Structure 1
Amino acid sequence: MNRYTNLLVAIDPDHEEQPALSRALDIANKSSAPVKLTLFLAIYDFSYEMTSMLSAEERQAMRAGVLRQREEWVTSLVEQHDTSDVSVVNHVVWHNRPYESMIAQVFDGEHDLLVKATHKHDKLGSVIFTPTDWHLLRKCPCPVLLVKEHGWPANGKVLAAVNVASENEAHIPLNDKLINEANAMSKLLEAEVNLVNAYPATPVNVTIELPEFDPASYTDAVRGHHLLQMKALRQKHCIDEAQTHCQEGLPEDVIPAVAKELDAELVILGTTGRIGLSAIFIGNTAEHTIDQLDCDVLAIKPDGYVSPLAPNVSLG
């Protein structure tokens, strides 16, 4: 059974090249089930709202004209591809917050995957002006596939980033979900599934404050614990030891390093959807990692996740 059959594809209004559309068509063409693509574009021009010389009706007519022009542009993008075996519809809206309009469409259209091209963000700007990608990682109810320029060759590698030693019980079913997702994508891509897990280095302050502390023994114990947990997880899912990678370091350093070493075409991450001040000051591993990767990223929410933008969910 194909995992994704109802895709929402975010169109980039500033570029003729549309990696998200190309990737969505890749998925559709490889699928054994019929796939529907909804090409989504949110546009907004504040100058149309501030034209006091025009009546409300005239402003509405101007907006309608802009929407028609952009719909024609999206249609021209589609015509550059062979879509004879794919159902494609266009949806262009006037909205000043693209991520909110995308998530609303995910709910309205019951989409099972959101596909969007991503670009490297300015680090300072990402803190002050949170990019649309970050909002989607935190708040989109369905999986989000962030597309980069890396290709999807046959017999490639899919890398699932797991957390095998977390005390948070939510990570146990999330690890299983990530591996199941990796297995499904590997069948679609004819790729090999790999697992990666990062374990923490010995805290420097402990070594300084406790002279009798043996950092080598501590590191060996931590590594041994993670290797044991990784062994249990890979055996549970029938994955070879050679396809598991357990390395010391921060996840945002280890995951991109292993992905580069494998030349993975897809990295699958879990994201808990942290929002508010904790997201600003702490951030999510997925957010710290995506800019370091030169391949696509599939971000998965844990089961039971409820988006703060879901209909009938209070944001108060």
Structure 2
Amino acid sequence: MKIRQLLVVIDPTQEAQPALQRAAWVARRNGAALELLLCEHQSALEGGLLDGPRLQHARDGLLEQRRAWLEQLAEPLRAEGLTVTCETRWGRPLYKMILARVGELKPDILFRNAYQHSLLQRLLFTSNSWQLIRKCPCPLWLAGAREWQPKRLCAAVDPLHSADKPAALDHQLLAISRELAESLQLQASYVHAYAPLPRTMVFDAELVADYDSYCRKYGEQHRQAFDRLLAGYPGAEGQGHLVEGFAEQAVPRFVEEQDIDLLLMGAIARGHLDNALIGNTAERILEAVRCDLLVVKPQGFGSSDQT
């Protein structure tokens, strides 16, 4: 994964910009260029008392103010020697404006703020975030509000593809996580969660009689598949963690126990509707974790038919 161009969505309604902090941190280590993107829309400037020329003038004036603010954010980074450009756009919905710029710029990673609930201490996603999770063709980094002093990243994989995702996506996650760990000087690990069929849902008499043996065999099947997956990546086998439990519970628990700073997950969109799911398991994991997320799509995923 070559990191040459980063796109950062700036939220004009927030003072803190964790996505910019993360992107600048990555750029310092990779020499990548940054673009700061701010998309603006005010319903008061959609018509009403103002005529066409005055309406456009008001919009242009607001965008000029926003660009001046972006330039203020960019100046300290440029003083460090980073390459930073600024872009403002008018329109809505926000996710479509972002995806349009992604299609033009073709960044290696898109950064956006996630929002952290002060009581639950987990990430909260707006509808625009969910649309980007489902439709953004490049890796999407969702940054939380917690202090950023990263040490560990982890890739969640599914070697038996029970979540109905392509086998190649696990290999993408492994390759990207190893490259990021090296370039960003982070410790990499890999996690796979499995859950045998609960005893209460087993209706086969023979299986019920030997339920413990079934659980052992089921676990061994996942262990072998996990080992085969990691075997192709030197050094990865010792960093693999097989955890028992439903993924939406076991993976967030593992992330918290291991103090993971960045979780990599694969996602595939199902269907072309605006409310298309990426899969219940993946969505529940995304909703439950407290660390930053990097969501990766299968190679060849395009946004042209997703917007």
Q: TM-score, normalized by length of structure 1?
A: 0.86
What residue number does 1:40 align with? 37
Asked whether 1:193 is paired with 2:188, we answer: yes
Pick closer, same or farther for the CA change 1:9–1:284 going to 2, 3 Å: farther
What residue number does 1:92 align with? 88
Alpha carbons 1:134, 1:287 under 8 Å: kept:
no
Alpha carbons 1:138, 1:272 under 8 Å: kept:
yes
Asked whether 1:253 is paired with 2:252, we answer: no
What residue number does 2:120 align with? none
Give, in whole Å, the separation in 1 of the partners of 2:76 and 2:113.
18
What residue number does 1:124 align with? none
Pick closer, same or farther for the CA change 1:210–1:168 going to 2, 3 Å: closer
Secondary structure of the structure 2 residue equivalent to 1:245: strand
Pick closer, same or farther for the CA change 1:56–1:240 going to 2, 3 Å: closer
Runs of 4+ in structure 1 over 4 Å off: 80-83, 167-170, 275-282
Give, in whole Å, the separation in 1 of the partners of 2:76 and 2:306.
43
Give the AA of the match of 1:146.
L
Give, in whole Å, the separation in 2 of the partners of 1:5 and 1:285.
32
Q: What is the number of equivalent residue pairs in this alignment? A: 298
Give, in whole Å, the separation in 2 of the partners of 1:18 and 1:174.
30
Shift of 1:284: 4.7
Segment of structure 1 superposing worse, 178-187 or 53-62: 53-62
What residue number does 2:177 align with? 182
Identity %: 30
What residue number does 1:206 align with? 201
What residue number does 1:160 align with? 155
Pick closer, same or farther for the CA change 1:77–1:28 going to 2, 3 Å: same
Secondary structure of the structure 1 residue equivalent to 2:15: coil
Alpha carbons 1:286, 1:299 under 8 Å: kept:
no
Q: Could you list the per-position Cα deviations for residues 55-107 of structure 1 after superposition, in whole angstroms to 9, with x for gaps in the alignment?
A: 11111111111111111122222345464311111111111211101111011
Give, in whole Å, the separation in 2 of the partners of 1:47 and 1:244.
53
Give the AA of the match of 1:289.
I
Shift of 1:227: 0.4
What residue number does 2:131 align with? 135
Q: TM-score, normalized by length of structure 2?
A: 0.88
Shift of 1:149: 3.1
Give the AA of the match of 1:271.
A
Shift of 1:147: 0.9
Alpha carbons 2:269, 2:276 under 8 Å: kept:
no
Alpha carbons 2:74, 2:85 under 8 Å: kept:
no
Give, in whole Å, the separation in 2 of the partners of 1:62 and 1:48.
7
How much is the aligned-residue C-alpha RMSD, in angstroms? 2.5
What residue number does 1:24 align with? 23
Secondary structure of the structure 2 residue equivalent to 1:258: helix
Pick closer, same or farther for the CA change 1:285–1:253 going to 2, 3 Å: same
What residue number does 1:171 align with? 166
Give the AA of the match of 2:241.
H
Alpha carbons 1:151, 1:265 under 8 Å: kept:
no
What residue number does 1:5 align with? 4
Give the AA of the match of 1:184.
E
Unpaired runs of 5+ residues, structure 1, are 122-128
Q: Could you list the per-position Cα deviations for residues 145-194 of structure 1 after superposition, in whole angstroms to 9, with x for gaps in the alignment?
A: 1111345546x221011001126885321111100000011012212221
Pick closer, same or farther for the CA change 1:216–1:98 going to 2, 3 Å: same
Alpha carbons 2:163, 2:279 under 8 Å: kept:
no
Give, in whole Å, the separation in 2 of the partners of 1:168 and 1:70.
42
Q: Which residues of 2 match residues 232-243 of structure 1 at below 5 A?
A: 232-243=228-239
Give, in whole Å, the separation in 2 of the partners of 1:294 and 1:144.
16
Alpha carbons 1:150, 1:265 under 8 Å: kept:
no
Q: Which residues of 2 match residues 69-84 of structure 1 at below 5 A?
A: 69-81=65-77, 83-84=79-80
